[in-house]
Amino acid sequence: MSDPLLAVENVSVAFGGVQALSDVSLEVRNGEILALIGPNGAGKTTLFNVISGVLRPDAGQVHFAGRAIVGWAPHRIARAGIARTYQIVRPFGRLSVVDNVAVGALVHARSIGQARNDARDIVTFVGLETYADRPASSLTLTQRKRLEVARALALRPRLLLLDEVMAGLTPTEMDGMAEFVLRLSERGIAAVAGIEHVMRLVMRISHRIVVLDAGRRIAEGDPAAIQADPAVIEAYLGAPLGRGD
Amino acid sequence: MKRGAAAIAALVIVLLILAPLRLNGYAMDLTYITVLSIGLAYGWNIISGYAGYFSFGQIAFFGVGAYATGLLVADLHWYWVPAALVGGVAACALAIPLGYVMLRLRGPFFAMGMFGMAQMVRVLVTAIPATGSGSGLFLPPGSGITGVYYWTLAVCLGAIALTMWIEGSAFGLRLRALREDEQVAATLGVETTRAKITAFGLSALIPGLLGGGYALFLTYIEPDAVFSSRLDLQSIVMAILGGLGTVWGPLVGGLVMTQISEVLWARFPEIYLMIFGGLLVALLIALPRGIVPAIAARFARRRGA
Amino acid sequence: MILLQLAINGVLLGGVLALSALGFNIVFGVMRVVNLAHGDFVVLAAVFAAYAFAQAGVNPLLLLPLTVAAGFVAGALIHYLLLRRLPSELAGAEASSLTLTFGLSYFLTGAGLAIFGGRFVSVPFLTGAFQVGPLSIPQARLLAFGVAVVLSLAFAFLLRSTALGRAIRATSQNLDGALACGLDVDRVRTIAFALGTAVAAAAGTLMSFLYNLNAQQGVLFTVNAFAVVVIGGLGSYSGAVLGALILGLTESFASYFLGATLAEAAPYMLFILVLLIAPGGLRGRRVA
């Protein structure tokens, strides 16, 4: 088997007295959709912060496309091909929707004109073309979520880190987002989706699942195996998986 | 709207160029100070308006420029134009290491940190014996105000042109992104440190060059005159009133403020500060983004966008 | 021996600086607003006290309740009518509140100059000193220090043990949580701001018998308060006290050893150093 695109190896992070991540490892392959699930506070966002270079782990290493990236500045990691969205959306409020996306597009474009053109294409692709020249602060939450993804796509990433990208969406919108992630996967873009609930979709679209609880990896496997894993069920306080969402 | 604004700006610029032919004495001095303040406002606008790093200490670079120029002219007998250029370069050279250190701070910490830094620079510069140790530096009387005025006008126009370029460039977009959310900008590939330092350097170069001219204007420089809080604050207010992070904001703010300032000073000298402060507060509440964005928004609404 | 003397002077000064800084800290902690007019409240109270003493022989300590009340009301009005109106969109908030308090500072300085004129004044009150062996402890400084300590403790009690104090602390620490608990955040902010200016007025009243001041020196005291808060750590009241003591000592030693000119730079140098080395201050919250 070829080398994984992303390899997180024994990463640990502590804040003050709290161990946010303990010895967490996982792998993502090209084009794979990995669901990172766990209750709130399990460490999903912290892991994303480590991978994207925003946070330096106390221990462990992260390899992306064969290179060790711990200690790299966030912009360098972004240029290398890792893009992320934020759980609480953070648009560049006073910039237009196109400009929001153009920032990322600058990495691959040769001029700002080209960056804006590329950005427009992506804005259309995510269905925000009517708002293209409006300030991002004028968008609704759902639209902002799409903008988050659009900005990430502008980097032409090989790996997308999606942090709670479903939160706050209606069921129809969630299905739409799930389809979207599947389409990206078909194009060879891998994704790690951090999700707290909405298990039904998780089961449907992910190739593999890693379960975090209180900073530790407690299970890993394909959807069917995870559903049956007693440790996972216990972590979610006995809530049945794949039903009732 | 764009064409209208450009036409008005062109008219103002032509008037400014012709000023020395018609004015002298107090009116000319006032015009010079106005242009100087507008130039300072443009310099300030880059680091504070576009990059979002509000600084209360850019006057440090103005003072450094003034003293560097003053020393070259007074002690080494340089001709003032290259001396003023060196003044600008010196300020910029100081800004780069300073920026690496100070730009790690954010928000009000950076603002006040720069204030403290400016005070420190002032103390250190005036402690050097060569600068007359606080008792001032005398320069030989120059060619009259005209030369200095055109130098200042040229720098000011250059600053406007630079701002226009920034507005439309990739650099400007990166700055605005980091202003909105620095961490997100970094994860979207923006080299934030490099962008910030560049902006900071430009925001030091402009006051540095202007300070060089000011030394010639005063011909006698002493610390409080060139590390002048009043000039600093005046340019900050101009930029904010006019519109932070816009191309025409500092110009509009500068012109408006000078007129208001003149009228108030003439008619209410005793309570000038009170009215000035009160007006600033009122304007901020009424037009929180400044004059230019408010006008732009009005036009956008008329067009039905 | 001279060192001990300098130390004592520094500590006594620190006590009053601490009071000023507490007021500044509460505003910064609760609302992330740097009140650039803070120093003007201090100075105006001082100048007012000096005039009241000169005109009517009123003891500045008796004036304390008056200046504190006036400071409170003024602060409440300023927040309620002005500061609340500012947009709190993402990147605009800090710049606009800085600018607003900046304009306010001009306004207050101007008002002070208009009402009281520009002369340097102080209250010649308790000009004697206690002699403890070779050390000389100025009575005025000791009194100011004592009152400052009492007021600071009262303030600390307010924060720790009253419902209002808890509301203030909750809003500073976790805005969303406070909102979720149903706290009227706007009202808390107004009260916090008013408390900040009231405490500033108290500190100023005390300073009137320590220094010669004029209406234009507000900036100095704002920077001082900011420096103390930075050194001691944002959000930490005990840190502010510690910071004030450090600053008081620094100013005392610096002016003796470095002379007046360089001593001016000492507090700035200290606070920049702290900003760079320990951005959270000595006791402040960890910057995430």
Hey, how many other C-beta atoms are within 10 angstroms of the C-beta on B295? Answer: 16
Distance of CA B87 to the CA centre of its chain: 15
The per-residue pLDDT for range C39-83, each reduced to its tens digit, is: 999 999 999 988 888 888 888 788 889 999 999 999 999 988 888
Contacts of C89 in chain A (CB under 8 A): 93-94, 137
Q: In this complex, do B177 and A95 lie within 8 Å of one another by their Cβ atoms?
A: yes
Beta-strand relationship, A67-68 and A159-163: unpaired
Instruction: Examine the pLDDT at C101 and tell me if it is beyond 60.
Output: yes
Q: In this complex, do B284 and C99 lie within 8 Å of one another by their Cβ atoms?
A: yes
Write the ipTM: 0.87
Instruction: Examine the pLDDT at C287 and tell me if it is beyond 70.
Output: no
Q: In this complex, do A92 and B180 lie within 8 Å of one another by their Cβ atoms?
A: yes
Region of poorest pLDDT, from B148-157, C2-11, C90-99: C90-99
pLDDT at residue A239, rounded to an integer: 53
Closest-CA residue in chain C for B50?
Answer: C91
Average pLDDT score over residue span C134-163:
82
Question: In this structure, what are the phi and psi dihedrals at residue B134, rounded to the nearest 5 degrees?
Answer: 85, -15
Side-chain-facing half-sphere of B23: CA atoms under 13 Å: 17
Strand partners, A190: A159
Region of poorest pLDDT, from B70-84, B257-271, C223-237, C267-281: C267-281
Q: How many angstroms separate the CA atoms of C232 and B21, rounded?
A: 57
Q: Do residues C166 and C36 make contact, with C-beta atoms less than 8 angstroms apart?
A: no
Q: Do residues A144 and A91 make contact, with C-beta atoms less than 8 angstroms apart?
A: yes
Q: In this complex, do B273 and C268 lie within 8 Å of one another by their Cβ atoms?
A: no
pLDDT at residue C285, rounded to an integer: 44
Is C114 an interface residue toward B (CB < 8 Å)?
yes
Q: How many angstroms separate the CA atoms of C169 and C148, rounded?
A: 22
The per-residue pLDDT for range A39-76, each reduced to its tens digit, is: 877 888 899 999 999 999 999 999 999 999 999 999 99
- pLDDT band, residue A245 (cuts 50/70/90): very low
Q: Do residues C27 and C38 make contact, with C-beta atoms less than 8 angstroms apart?
A: yes
Give me Rg for the CA atoms of chain A.
18
Q: Do residues A76 and A155 make contact, with C-beta atoms less than 8 angstroms apart?
A: no
**C92/chain A closest Cα distance in angstroms:** 10
pLDDT at residue B155, rounded to an integer: 95
- pLDDT band, residue A219 (cuts 50/70/90): confident
Q: Which of C85, C106, C267 sits opposite B276 (nearest CB)?
A: C106
Hey, how many other C-beta atoms are within 10 angstroms of the C-beta on C41? Answer: 34
Q: Which of B183, B186, B189 sits opposite A106 (nearest CB)?
A: B189
Query: What is the token pair recorded at A125?
Result: 């692709």
Q: In this complex, do A93 and C286 lie within 8 Å of one another by their Cβ atoms?
A: no
Q: DSSP states of chain A as a string?
A: -PPPSEEEEEEEEEETTEEEEEEEEEEE-TT-EEEEE-STTSSHHHHHHHHTTSS--SEEEEEETTEE-TT--HHHHHHHTEEE--SS----TTSBHHHHHHHHHTTT-SSHHHHHHHHHHHHHHTT-GGGTTSBGGGS-HHHHHHHHHHHHHTT--SEEEEESTTTT--HHHHHHHHHHHHHHHHTT-EEEEEESS-HHHHHHH-SEEEEEETTEEEEEE-HHHHHH-HHHHHHTTTPPTTS--
Among residues A216, A89, A101, A86, which one has the least CA distance to residue A160? A86
Contacts of C286 in chain A (CB under 8 A): 15-16
Average pLDDT score over residue span C197-201:
93
- pLDDT band, residue A83 (cuts 50/70/90): very high
Q: How many angstroms separate the CA atoms of B38 and B241, rounded?
A: 12
**B120/chain C closest Cα distance in angstroms:** 5
Q: In this complex, do C90 and A94 lie within 8 Å of one another by their Cβ atoms?
A: yes
Region of poorest pLDDT, from B147-156, B214-223, C271-280: C271-280
B55: alpha, beta or left? (left if phi > 0; alpha if psi -120 to 50): beta
Instruction: Examine the pLDDT at C288 and tell me if it is beyond 50.
Output: no
Instruction: Look up tokens 């064409």; give the residue.
Output: B3
CA distances for C233 relative to A106, B57, B109, C199, C228, angstroms: 39, 22, 12, 19, 8
Closest-CA residue in chain B for A94?
Answer: B180
Contacts of B301 by beta carbon, 8 Å cutoff, 6+ apart: none
CA distances for C256 relative to C6, C250, C251, angstroms: 8, 10, 9
The per-residue pLDDT for range B32-72, each reduced to its tens digit, is: 989 999 999 999 999 999 998 988 889 999 999 999 998 88
Hey, how many other C-beta atoms are within 10 angstroms of the C-beta on C73? Answer: 13
Distance of CA B159 to the CA centre of its chain: 9
Is C276 an interface residue toward A (CB < 8 Å)?
no
CA distances for A70 relative to A76, A79, A193, A217, angstroms: 11, 15, 21, 20
Task: Please classify residue A14 by burial: count the beta carbons closer than 10 Å to its beta carbon, then call 0-12 exposed, 13-18 middle and 19+ buried.
Answer: middle
Hey, how many other C-beta atoms are within 10 angstroms of the C-beta on A243? Answer: 9
Average pLDDT value over all residues in chain C: 81
**Run of H or E including B195:** helix B192-218
Contacts of B269 by beta carbon, 8 Å cutoff, 6+ apart: none
Instruction: Examine the pLDDT at A241 and tell me if it is beyond 60.
Output: no
pLDDT at residue C283, rounded to an integer: 52
Q: Do residues B252 and B45 make contact, with C-beta atoms less than 8 angstroms apart?
A: no
Contacts of A155 in chain B (CB under 8 A): 188-189
Query: What is the token pair recorded at C76?
Result: 């409440």
pLDDT at residue B194, rounded to an integer: 95
Q: Do residues C258 and C266 make contact, with C-beta atoms less than 8 angstroms apart?
A: yes
pLDDT at residue C88, rounded to an integer: 60
Q: Which of B173, B187, B189 sits opposite A54 (nearest CB)?
A: B187
3-state secondary structure of B245: coil
Average pLDDT value over all residues in chain B: 86
Axis crossing angle, helix C185-207 with helix C60-81, rounded to the nearest 10: 150
The per-residue pLDDT for range C210-223, each reduced to its tens digit, is: 878 888 888 888 88
Instruction: Examine the pLDDT at C91 and tell me if it is beyond 60.
Output: no
* One-letter identity of residue C130: F
The per-residue pLDDT for range B87-137, each reduced to its tens digit, is: 999 999 999 999 998 898 887 788 888 888 888 888 888 777 766 655 566
pLDDT at residue B99, rounded to an integer: 92
- pLDDT band, residue B186 (cuts 50/70/90): very high
Question: In this structure, what are the phi and psi dihedrals at residue A128, rounded to the nearest 5 degrees?
Answer: -110, 20
Instruction: Examine the pLDDT at A186 and tell me if it is beyond 90.
Output: no
Is A137 an interface residue toward C (CB < 8 Å)?
yes
pLDDT at residue B209, rounded to an integer: 96
Instruction: Examine the pLDDT at A236 and tell me if it is beyond 80.
Output: no
Instruction: Examine the pLDDT at C286 and tell me if it is beyond 80.
Output: no
pTM: 0.87
Q: Do residues A12 and A59 make contact, with C-beta atoms less than 8 angstroms apart?
A: yes
Average pLDDT score over residue span C12-32:
84
Quick one: what percent of chain B has pLDDT higher than 70?
94
Give me Rg for the CA atoms of chain B.
19
Chain C segment 211-270 residues within 8 A of B by beta carbon are 219, 223, 226-227, 230, 261-262, 264-265, 267-269
Query: What is the token pair recorded at B5?
Result: 């604004």
pLDDT at residue C279, rounded to an integer: 63
pLDDT at residue B172, rounded to an integer: 95
pLDDT at residue B280, rounded to an integer: 81
Q: How many angstroms separate the CA atoms of A113 and A121, rounded?
A: 13
CA distances for C257 relative to B127, C2, C103, C249, C266, angstroms: 15, 11, 37, 12, 11
Region of poorest pLDDT, from A87-101, B23-37, B128-142, B284-298: B128-142
Is A111 an interface residue toward B (CB < 8 Å)?
yes
Q: Which of A16, A94, A137 sits opposite C286 (nearest CB)?
A: A16
Contacts of B121 by beta carbon, 8 Å cutoff, 6+ apart: B57, B60, B63, B64, B94, B227
The per-residue pLDDT for range B142-184, each reduced to its tens digit, is: 667 888 899 999 999 999 999 999 999 999 999 999 999 999 9
Q: Which of B169, B184, B189 sits opposite A90 (nearest CB)?
A: B184
CA distances for C193 relative to A239, C25, C167, C172, C199, angstroms: 47, 10, 13, 12, 10
Distance of CA A124 to the CA centre of its chain: 21
Q: How many angstroms separate the CA atoms of B138 and B124, rounded?
A: 19
Chain A segment 94-113 residues within 8 A of C by beta carbon are 94
Instruction: Look up tokens 């520094």; give the residue.
Output: C10
Average pLDDT score over residue span C154-161:
83
Instruction: Examine the pLDDT at C90 and tell me if it is beyond 60.
Output: no
Contacts of C227 by beta carbon, 8 Å cutoff, 6+ apart: B116, C243, C247, C267, C268, C270, C271
- pLDDT band, residue C93 (cuts 50/70/90): low
The per-residue pLDDT for range B252-280, each reduced to its tens digit, is: 999 888 888 878 777 777 777 788 788 88
Q: How many angstroms separate the CA atoms of B211 and B39, rounded?
A: 11
Q: DSSP states of C186-239 as a string?
A: HHHHHHHHHHHHHHHHHHHHHHTTTS-B-TTTHHHHHHHHHHHHHHH-TT-HHH
Strand partners, B70: none
Hey, how many other C-beta atoms are within 10 angstroms of the C-beta on A184? Answer: 19
Q: Do residues B55 and B114 make contact, with C-beta atoms less than 8 angstroms apart?
A: yes
pLDDT at residue C31, rounded to an integer: 76
Is A238 an interface residue toward C (CB < 8 Å)?
no
pLDDT at residue A199, rounded to an integer: 75
